[in-house]
């Protein structure tokens, strides 16, 4: 009922605004028309009287002038006539006007002065009168003036009539709109909503089926809601199964997942089998520093998450070599043991030409698939030559993988991310006994967004070559199954979350990736953290009471410009923090060969400079933008020293920065401001969740973080750390590898 009242009131207000606007416009136009008509009639009459009155004025014949003005007094709307001398004094006037007409009437004086006719509306005896004065000239000099007084009160009466008519129209329309609105709301909104509510209740309680409810025609305004609820109902079985499994684990008092537990678990589950991990990015790259060669770990969540897992299982990581000294450090088979300081697994490098890298990586992967999957208003670019290189590179990776697994029986292959979407199919073609999984680290869009890709079916077929496809969160699984359902002929099993096509089954599961929590320091003296903070400010050359941090690869999906604008708005709204709060952005340049990324770096730098120029005081800066490839040790220092970490992704599969920050805060302090569009927001509900597009809300969240009570900060951080401690990278790897290892390829359909 409330929605009906709100709708009716809104419509009435809208109609009232429209009626008033049009009435006002009509009144103005009608007034102009009536005044113009009055002026025209008055001018015609004045011209005729001028011919008669001019000789009389020149002869100074007052008696004859008096007879003339009496004749034209009170005719229709003409209230009277007056004749004036050259100075504006009254010579003769219609008797009925005599009390109201005095010497020096402004319009008469103006016409005598300018020697041109002049007219204006004025009030005489409380009535609106149009006064028109025409000078009488002799030898081009004014000897007097003839003035006509026209009754203009009918104009106000006509305008009032328009307002009354439109008021009646408004009242009639309002009654009609109220009646129609109530009928439409009852039949088209309230009735269907009641049906949908009953259907949702039946589905929730297990009495109904997750299909389109009967009694509601398709194409109604509720269809999007019904579709979303249908998808939610389809995933309910999966959610219940997982909840039951969690309950069983808790009942059995299962211990937390650790590196040692994962190692023992994988030995038991895999029976000594190696794990073959494939990704575009390598976990270690070799660069030159002078004459020396140095191994560094590239920035990125994939490497951060998977390196601890590979250290445990002593597997083989196959990736493209991108370091300038990579070729100098491998053996004849393009392999080496890593990490350099404590070798634990094998890295095999695949070499790409510049043309292949440009087309496969910068072109199709990062100008096509990346913006396609991240809905951040950046248009994907698809070029045939890039697609050709993408296929060629996937085939090159397939050759490398097949060579490594040729002596393995039922090998386990775990493929990472969107660069290698065709690889599962290429491997399964040659090794159908291989158990292949692909983990998609970025979001998967809805079918409508995905459908613009020219090679949408080829990518789906490549991915469905895998036996297991993993995403970070359930909604991405739902989107993927919807996409397959839209573009491929296949069978979708919503109960098992499985795609069956051509006799091959592919499971689709959510696996929220995380960090190696146990590697974080369990405790550290508070003096250490104060010392870290002081050292950071010393390095930056100024002091501040509060410190904020952002850690990102410089990418348009991370919301860095939006974050900086929110910081600017924060200082506008809360000027008491000027010279007290500094935000440090640790930005790693990425894909700078792509114009969109190159322009983004310039945009971020210019934005930081503008904000600093506006608010900077002395040596203090509101924003410090550190553009470099930062080491994990450097990043951890800022995590430990900061009061607030802002993660403002516009669209992100998970975003491990949020989890790294929480894991680093073993002091139990600090506040996480987290985008609702990052997958991590599903788990870290005690963060301050923001819409990064909402600058005002982000600025307010920053203030709330800095003003938050110490106990509240500690409680929030304790709960978030408990989530990450339990759902760490070892649990992720254990669940994913277990599901892959337990697949029975012969009867998994």
CA 648, distance to chain mean position in Å, is: 11
Q: What is the DSSP letter of 75?
A: B
24-33, 173-182, 690-699: range with lowest mean pLDDT: 173-182
Quick one: what percent of the chain has pLDDT higher than 70? 86
In 3D space, the residue among 255, 75, 71, 35 whose CA is nearest the CA of residue 156 turns out to be 35
Axis crossing angle, helix 223-234 with helix 236-251, rounded to the nearest 10 = 40
With H, G, I as helix, E, B as strand and everything else as coil, classify residue 179. Answer: helix
The confidence score (pLDDT) of residue 523 equals: 38
Mean pLDDT, to the nearest integer, of 726-741? 88
Strand duo 546-553 + 581-588: pairing: parallel
pLDDT above 60: residue 276? yes
**Statement: residue 415 has pLDDT above 80:** yes
Report whether pLDDT(99) > 90: no
Give the chain's mean pLDDT.
85
Q: What is the pLDDT of residue 239?
A: 55
Stated as kind and residue range, the H or E segment containing 276 is strand 275-278
Asked whether residue 1 carries a pLDDT value surpassing 80, the answer given is: no
pLDDT at 575: 96
Of 182-186, 199-203, 652-656, which has the strongest mean pLDDT? Answer: 652-656
540-550 pLDDT, tens digit per residue, is 898 999 999 99
Distance, CA of 550 to CA of 647 (rounded, Å): 7
Structural domains present in the chain: 32-157 (3.30.450.20), 259-510 (3.40.50.2000), 522-727 (3.40.50.2000)
406 pLDDT exceeds 60? Answer: yes
Give the residue among 545, 554, 551 at the shortest CA–CA distance from 586: 551
DSSP, res 582:
E
Q: How many angstroms separate the CA atoms of 269 and 27, rounded?
A: 86
Q: Is the pLDDT of residue 748 over 70?
A: no
Length of the chain: 749
pLDDT 10s digits, 125-145? 777 888 888 888 877 788 888
650 against 75, higher pLDDT: 650
* pLDDT value of residue 207: 61
Of the pLDDT bands very low, low, confident and very high (cuts 50, 70, 90), residue 613 is very high
pLDDT in the model for residue 358: 94
pLDDT for residue 481 is more than 70: yes
Dump pLDDT digits (tens) for 568-591.
Answer: 999 999 999 999 999 999 998 988
Give the span between the Cα atoms of 382 and 458, in whole angstroms. 14
3-state helix vs strand vs coil in the chain, percent to 5: 50, 20, 30
Predicted TM-score (pTM) above 0.75: no
Q: Which residues of 467-484 are buried (b: 16+ CB within 10 A; e: fewer)?
A: bbbbbbbbbbbbbbbbbb
Q: Is a pLDDT exceeding 50 seen at residue 251?
A: no
Q: Which of 639, 693, 695, 646 is nearest to 669 (CA)?
A: 639
Cα–Cα distance for residue pair 346/338, rounded to 1 Å: 6
Q: What is the mean pLDDT of residues 349-373?
A: 95
Top-confidence residue, 248 or 561: 561
Q: What is the pLDDT of residues 449-458, one digit of tens each?
A: 999 999 999 9
596 and 378 Cβ atoms separated by less than 8 Å: yes
- Tell whether the model's pLDDT for residue 269 goes beyond 90: no
| Mean pLDDT score, 497-512 | 94
Distance (Å, whole) CA 417 – CA 471 = 10
Place of tokens 């995403």: 471
DSSP collapsed to 3 states, 458-511 = HHHHHHCCCCEEEECCHHHHHHHHHHHHHHCCCEEECCCCEEEECCEEEEEEEC
Quick check: 73 pLDDT over 70? Answer: no
> Rounded mean pLDDT of 295-312?
78
Instruction: Please give the Cα distance from 608 to 116 (Å, whole number).
Output: 65
Q: Give residue 154's pLDDT band: very low, low, confident or very high (50, 70, 90).
A: confident
| Strand pairing category for 546-553 and 491-493 | unpaired
Mean pLDDT is lowest, of 6-10, 280-284, 713-717, for: 6-10
3-state secondary structure of 551: strand
Residue 487 Cα distances to 63, 191, 371, 455, 491, angstroms: 102, 34, 20, 11, 12
Instruction: Pick the more confident residue, 456 or 302.
Output: 456
Lowest-confidence range among 217-221, 296-300, 565-569, 648-652?
Answer: 217-221
Quote the CA–CA distance of 350 and 543 in Å, as a whole number. Answer: 47
Q: Which pLDDT value is given to residue 203?
A: 67
Strands 412-416 and 435-439, by their bridges, are parallel
- CA dist 434 → 184, 453, 603, 742, 749 (Å): 59, 29, 47, 12, 16
Query: Going by C-beta distance under 8 Å and a sequence separation of 6 or more, which residues neighbour residue 444?
Result: 373, 450, 471, 476, 477, 479, 480, 483
What pLDDT does 194 receive? 74
Q: What is the pLDDT of residues 462-476, one digit of tens each?
A: 999 999 999 999 999
Full strand arrangement of the beta sheet holding 671-675:
623-627, 581-588, 546-553, 644-647, 671-675, 688-690
Beta strands 491-493 and 498-501, pairing class: antiparallel
Across the range 376-388, mean pLDDT stands at 93
- At which residue do the structure tokens 């040729």 appear? 406
Strand 141-151 with 127-138, pairing? antiparallel
Share of the chain above pLDDT 90, in %: 48
**Sheet of strand 435-439: strand arrangement:** 335-338, 345-350, 316-320, 275-278, 412-416, 435-439, 468-471, 504-510, 498-501, 491-493
pLDDT of 243 higher than 60 = no
Residue 473: the pLDDT is: 94
Helix (H) or strand (E) holding 731: helix 729-741
């Amino acid at each position: 009922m409330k929605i009906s009242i709100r709708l009716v009131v809104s419509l009435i207000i809208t109609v009232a605004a429209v009626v008033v606007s049009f009435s006002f416009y009509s009144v103005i136009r009608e007034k102009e028309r009536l005044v113009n008509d009055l002026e025209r009639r008055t001018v015609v009459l004045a011209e005729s009287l001028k011919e008669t009155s001019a000789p009389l004025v020149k002869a100074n014949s007052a008696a004859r002038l008096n007879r003339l003005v009496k004749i034209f007094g009170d005719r229709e709307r003409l209230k009277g006539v007056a004749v004036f001398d050259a100075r504006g004094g009254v010579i003769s006037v219609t008797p009925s006007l005599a009390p109201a007409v005095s010497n020096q009437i402004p319009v008469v004086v103006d016409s005598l002065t300018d020697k041109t006719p002049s007219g204006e509306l004025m009030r005489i005896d409380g009535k609106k009168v149009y006064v028109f004065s025409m000078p009488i000239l002799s030898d081009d000099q004014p000897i007097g003036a003839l003035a006509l007084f026209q009754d203009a009160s009918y104009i106000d009466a006509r305008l009032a009539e328009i307002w009354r008519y439109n008021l009646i129209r408004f009242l009639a329309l309002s009654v009609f709109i109220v009646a129609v609105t109530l009928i439409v709301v009852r039949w088209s909104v309230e009735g269907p909503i009641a049906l949908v509510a009953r259907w949702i209740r039946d589905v929730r309680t297990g009495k109904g089926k997750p299909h389109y409810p009967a009694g509601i025609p398709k194409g109604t305004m509720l269809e999007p809601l019904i579709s979303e609820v249908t998808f939610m109902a389809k995933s309910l079985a999966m959610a219940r199964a997982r909840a039951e499994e969690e309950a069983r684990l808790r009942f059995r008092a299962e211990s937390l997942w650790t590196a040692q537990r994962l190692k023992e678990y994988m030995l038991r589950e895999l029976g000594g089998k190696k794990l073959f991990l494939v990704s575009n990015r390598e976990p270690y790259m070799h660069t030159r520093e002078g004459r020396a060669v140095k191994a560094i770990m590239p920035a990125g969540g994939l490497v951060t998450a998977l390196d601890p897992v590979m250290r445990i299982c002593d597997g083989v990581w196959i990736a493209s070599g991108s370091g300038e000294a990579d070729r100098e450090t491998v053996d004849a088979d393009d392999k080496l043991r890593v990490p350099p300081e404590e070798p634990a697994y094998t890295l095999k490098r695949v070499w790409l030409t510049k043309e292949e890298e440009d087309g496969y990586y910068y072109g199709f992967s990062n100008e096509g698939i990346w913006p396609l999957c991240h809905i951040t208003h950046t248009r994907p670019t698809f070029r045939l030559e890039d697609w050709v290189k993408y296929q060629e590179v996937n085939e090159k990776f397939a050759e490398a993988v097949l060579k490594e697994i040729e002596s393995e029986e039922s090998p386990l292959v775990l493929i990472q991310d969107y660069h290698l979407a065709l690889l599962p199919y290429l491997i399964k073609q040659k090794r159908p006994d291989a158990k292949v999984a692909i983990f998609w680290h970025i979001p998967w869009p809805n079918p409508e967004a995905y459908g613009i890709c020219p090679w949408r079916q080829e990518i789906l077929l490549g991915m469905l070559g895998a036996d297991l496809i993993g995403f970070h969160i359930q909604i991405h699984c739902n989107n993927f199954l919807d996409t397959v359902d839209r573009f491929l002929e296949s069978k979708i099993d919503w109960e098992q979350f499985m795609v069956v096509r051509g006799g091959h089954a592919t499971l689709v599961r959510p696996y929220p990736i995380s960090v190696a929590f146990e590697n974080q320091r369990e405790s550290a003296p508070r003096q250490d953290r104060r010392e870290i903070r002081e050292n950071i400010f010393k390095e930056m050359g100024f002091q501040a009471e509060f410190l904020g941090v952002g850690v990102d690869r410089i990418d348009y999906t991370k919301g860095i410009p939006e974050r900086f604008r929110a910081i600017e708005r924060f200082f506008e709204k809360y000027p008491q923090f000027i010279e007290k709060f500094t935000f440090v952005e640790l930005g790693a340049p990425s894909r700078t060969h792509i114009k969109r990324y190159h322009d983004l770096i310039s945009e971020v730098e210019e934005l930081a400079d503008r904000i600093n120029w506006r608010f900077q005081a002395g040596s203090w800066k509101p924003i410090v933008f550190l553009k470099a490839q930062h080491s994990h040790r450097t990043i951890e220092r800022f995590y430990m020293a900061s009061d607030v970490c802002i993660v403002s992704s516009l669209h992100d599969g998970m975003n491990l920065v949020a989890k790294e920050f929480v894991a680093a805060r073993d002091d139990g302090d600090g506040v996480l401001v987290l985008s609702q569009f990052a997958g991590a927001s599903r788990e870290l509900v005690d963060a301050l969740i923001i819409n990064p597009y909402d600058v005002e809300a982000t600025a307010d969240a920053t203030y709330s973080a800095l003003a938050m009570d110490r106990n509240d900060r500690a409680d929030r951080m304790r709960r978030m750390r408990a989530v990450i401690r339990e759902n760490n990278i070892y649990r992720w790897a254990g669940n994913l590898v277990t599901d892959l290892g337990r697949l029975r390829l012969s009867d998994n359909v």
